[in-house]
């Protein structure tokens, strides 16, 4: 097990204090969700603590890391390389801290955009990042937090819905994987009720 203090020391030198506080809240939220759902708490804590290792890497460094790793960079990531901080953080966790647990590395990778079919540990870290207390207090967020305690799969698609509304309202580019993640978990949660429509009927 990697010494937590060594990770904290590295983070203190590589992220601002406000981001470190967010990271610690994500770690704690991930632990609470893991405990609630009977998952491995140590792995949840580790992934939560390391999810933003590369958050403040320069865009060019993120692109170079992704290319060196052989990752496919899509047009949205090319336009906004900060989206690559999730897989880059997994690379740092592996190379800097010797993390070999594939589920922990995958959870770090998945925490921003999600992934269709992602495992429960990935769901926990994805939700912890989006729903930790510092994200704010409003009825929608409170409902999402309650959902995360009831059903991880349902909470993922509802959290994707929440994010997609924000992106649409602020005219941001939307990464296709967010939509694919939302659709997969919607169908997983409501296999007989999800309706797919093509276009708008006149």
pLDDT (0 to 100) of residue 193: 60
> Is the pLDDT reported for residue 167 higher than 50?
yes
12: left (phi over 0), alpha (psi -120 to 50) or beta: alpha
Q: Check residue 200 and give its pLDDT.
A: 41
Say if residue 138's pLDDT is above 90: yes
Determine the longest span between alpha carbons in the chain, in angstroms: 61
Domain holding 102: CATH number?
1.10.3210.10
pLDDT of 169 reads 97
198 in a domain, yes or no?
no
**Domain containing residue 89:** 4-136
Q: Are 162 and 140 in contact (CB under 8 A)?
A: yes
Cα distance between residue 173 and residue 183, in whole Å = 18
**In 108-178, at which residue ranges do the beta strands (DSSP E only) sit?**
none
Alpha-carbon distance of 32 to 156, in angstroms, equals 16
pLDDT at 186: 97
Counted domains in the chain: 1
Answer whether residue 131 is part of any domain.
yes
pLDDT above 70 covers a percentage of the chain that reads 94
Position 195 pLDDT exceeds 70: no
What pLDDT is attached to residue 191? 78
Q: What confidence score (pLDDT) does residue 194 get? A: 52
Mean per-residue pLDDT, 168-175: 95
What percent of the chain shows pLDDT beyond 90?
92
């Amino acid at each position: 097990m990697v010494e937590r203090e060594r990770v904290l020391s590295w983070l203190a030198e590589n992220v601002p204090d406000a981001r470190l506080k967010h990271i610690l809240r994500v770690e704690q939220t991930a632990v609470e969700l893991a405990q609630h759902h009977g998952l491995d708490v140590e792995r949840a804590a580790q992934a939560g603590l390391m999810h933003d290792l590369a958050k403040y890497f320069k865009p060019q460094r993120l692109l170079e890391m992704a290319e060196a790793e052989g990752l496919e960079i899509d047009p949205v990531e090319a336009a906004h390389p900060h989206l690559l901080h999730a897989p880059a953080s997994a690379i740092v966790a592996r190379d800097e801290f010797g993390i070999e647990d594939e589920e922990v590395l995958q959870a770090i990778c998945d925490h921003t955009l999600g992934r269709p079919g992602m495992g429960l540990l990935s769901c926990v870290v994805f939700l912890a990042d989006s729903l930790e207390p510092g994200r704010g207090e409003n009825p929608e967020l409170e409902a999402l937090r309650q959902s995360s305690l009831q059903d991880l799969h349902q909470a993922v698609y509802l959290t994707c819905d929440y994010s997609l509304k924000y992106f649409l309202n602020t005219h941001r580019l939307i990464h296709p994987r967010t939509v694919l993640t939302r659709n997969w978990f919607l169908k997983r949660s409501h296999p007989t009720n999800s309706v797919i429509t093509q276009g708008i009927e006149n």
